[in-house]
Structure 1
Amino acid sequence: TVSRYGQFKEYEALGRMSTVSHSSDTFIDANTERELGNEFFKKQRFNDAVDCYSRSIALSPTAAAFANRAMAYIKLKRFRDAENDCSEALDLDDRYIKAYSRRSTARKELGKLKEAIDDAEFALRLEPQNKELKKQFEETKSLLQKEILKKVSGASLRSVDNSPVLGKSNIDVKKNIQQNLHPITTVSSVTTAETSAKTRNTKKIAADSNPEDIAFEILLFPSILISFFFFFFRSQKKIMDQKQKLTASVQELAANAANVAKVEAAKNIVPPTSAYQFEVDWRRLSGDRNAQARLLKVTSPSALPGIFKSSLSASLLVDIIRCIGMFFSEDTALGIEYLRNLIEIPRFEVIVMCLSSADKIDVGRIWDEVFSQCSEDCYREIIHDLRPRF
């Protein structure tokens, strides 16, 4: 009774905390509701936690409140709602690591493995030393690889099973082994019979046995054994050859699938609105500089500082500079606009300082061989002034 009364009082107190009292001067703010939601979450009262987070969002929407409600939705297996809340959180703060991680979890449960990997990888880029993020990324990546191989292997195995050549070889091997096993069975039965008879009547066996027949059987057995192993190893070699062909086929199909995915991605290039979207699209187009150039060109130069804010990585910066170098001679004015706006990204100087020695040499080479070779006098001074920033 005391325990139940205590639980009742605790719930009553929480209820009073979660209700705005018009008779008092105090007002429960969004942060208080969120903290109360955290308390409910710790007690595994996820529906109550969702209610508190929802009130917090209604009072003042924040990335933390959306991400917390997403986690409660995940516990309730409401993965679609969790995905939407994480996206809302990232619209408010595109560097909120928990939102990427939780959206990755929700998307994995929804079967969106490629998108789940993108989220996990981007979160890991923001916090490379996070062991939990590394584990999440590797597990999701492994799950996607298994699913792809399962689909491709299934298709390849069906085609191999329907192959008339392979079917015939298996039947022939089976017949050869059976034919060569038959004499062994005969010899074995004869030997067993003789042993049994010898046990019953040793003298009779000695009288009835023919020395020439026994000698013939002893000489015949090794040749049968050799024949058996010959056909056995030959069948194994054929099986290994087929496995190698199947492996090559699976790898070829997987490579073709990846190429098709890149082609489809190149067809559907849209202006990115966040650093996450830009990096995901950029990686999907990796290996196709022309497609990456199209992605950059559909992104307004003046939008770069707002898109990247403080989440531009050193490796992506170098990639963008390489891409600008591709079309710089054809569209110098556009190239300069991109260079001008890159330096407006927050923490740009810090990013440049983080470039590796090889990247610095590469950027210097592009600058000297491409940008500095501009033939138009009106741009030379601008390029000269921009050079120290890079």
Structure 2
Amino acid sequence: MANEEFNLLTVKKPPEKRNLLEKYNIPVEHLSYEYITECKNIKELERIVLILRSGEEGFYPDLIRHAEEQLTSVNPGSIVLRKIQPTITRDMLGKDERQELDSDIDEWMKHMHLREKDLDDGKLLNQTEIIPQPDIRKITINSRQTSMNKTKTKRIKSCDYNAWDKYDVDTELNRIDLSEEQRQSQVKRNQQKQKEIFKKMSLTFTGTELSVMAEQEREKGNEAFKVGDYEEALQFYNSSLMIDSTINGYNNRAITYIKLHRFNDAVDDCNKVLAMDYTNVKALLRRALAFEQLEENKKALSDYETVLKIEPTNNLAIVAIKKLRIPCESKKVRIKIENDDNIQSSIEKIIDASYKKNDRKYEICFCDRAPTSSQYTKPLPHRKGNYCYDDSKISLNNNKKQSIFTHVEKSTRHSASSGVIIEELPNNEDVDIVAASNSKSKVIECEKNKEKIKFVRGDHAQDDFNGIINSPYEFILAWQSLRNDVDLKAHSQLLRTLGPDNLESVVGNKLDGQMFSKILHCLNQHFCNSNDAIMLRNFLMSLSQLKRFSIIKMFMDKNDEQALISMITFLNKEHVPQVEIICKAYNIKIT
């Protein structure tokens, strides 16, 4: 009987241990230089490295190194490549690191000792002095009776017509309003009692206990803020600040006020934080955000700039400054515009002032009096010396017929020449072309509104820039030479000579916010007439096709939008086609 029972017992054999090749299902042929070099599968490379490190198929140090290098090139942060290192002890650190670690530990220990001492002092205070405690709650029978009486209110039956005739609606409404006022006053009294109770209880707490309680309330507010319940978060932050006023509490309540669109309260909380710590970045950023919502862009810009002084790599401040700097700079001063009968004299004054300014700034001369070498027959550009011409003594009377571009070519003789000739557009009826008899230069004379402006185009071999613009660099030089042009008439003449078809090739990627604004105002002031309606439409369409137009148009201020709306309204009155395309490109809606 015992033998039969023994035969029924079976012993389970332990499973055979499989090698890593079978476990990972990797053939032996893959353990080669060629396959490892071409393999890009991270998982397979990790398994190959583990197989080679195990030594089950042999020990190949060079092949292991090659597999690790291939895995490093594919995935440098792989777990397989991590090397086990011993735990760093204090003796393994450098002298400076040890001192920093010791100072941090000492500071933490001092802080903990102070908190323990504060708790012990609070216990001794409770034992020695009698602190007023809140009254114990008592259950009164009258409260039960009054609550029962309140619940038992007479209700008029629906069939009792005599009672309904006696029912006064105004009296009932007054009673409801009175009960609501009583309820609100009772709530205020209860809140006041709770505050008094808390003041009495706070006398029994130490500073450490109060800070812990305030931190707990602040954490509850953080949880409510993450969920999106800003009203509840504000209540928790208020209770936290009532217990203990901290920088973090004011910062958190400030961002809650911003979420609730209470921007003035947010500014007040940020001011309290900055009064305690004037380098607090969070308070500066949140106050700047509140100022931005209150449309006080200058104050917001100054706060963002202060943040950049403290943290030069703060991305939020960098982006905000780029957005706010252009509108703030465009509204600095108000310029008085004076009407001058002689346009030519005003243009000459503007260009001559800019030319003299450039000479004073750089002091570079291009005259022929400089000493030369055997290698160069013509003198190179040099610093102004005693042997050079004195341009300051030359009066404007000798250059009355010089145009905008003849001044530009003086200051840019070292620039490369190009092939587009600046001429007045042929559709202008007031253009007279006069051929010079003794030279190769041509004078293009434009008469408009009884005023004459002359543009000289010379073909001199010695001049590199002879009234020709074919590159963004040359256009920028000509545009900047007119920066003192207040009435934008010289700018309008420059745009007319370029034409809308050449605008994209000449301006290129040099369009910025100030140039865009000035072009819009120039078109609005000098192109809104019946003769230039088609040209105005072409300029607006060419301007919308520039490379940086999609970015620049987002920074338009109210004046730019008003100028654009007035131009589109004018085009609609003139019945110019394709105005809808311009409205869509500039995101303008005309009702």
Query: If the length of structure 1 is used for normalisation, what is the TM-score?
Result: 0.35
User: Which structure shows the bigger proportion of residues in helix conformation?
Assistant: 1
Greater RCO, CA 8 A, separation 6+: 1
Query: If the length of structure 2 is used for normalisation, what is the TM-score?
Result: 0.24
For the pair shown, which has the larger CA radius of gyration, 1 or 2? 2
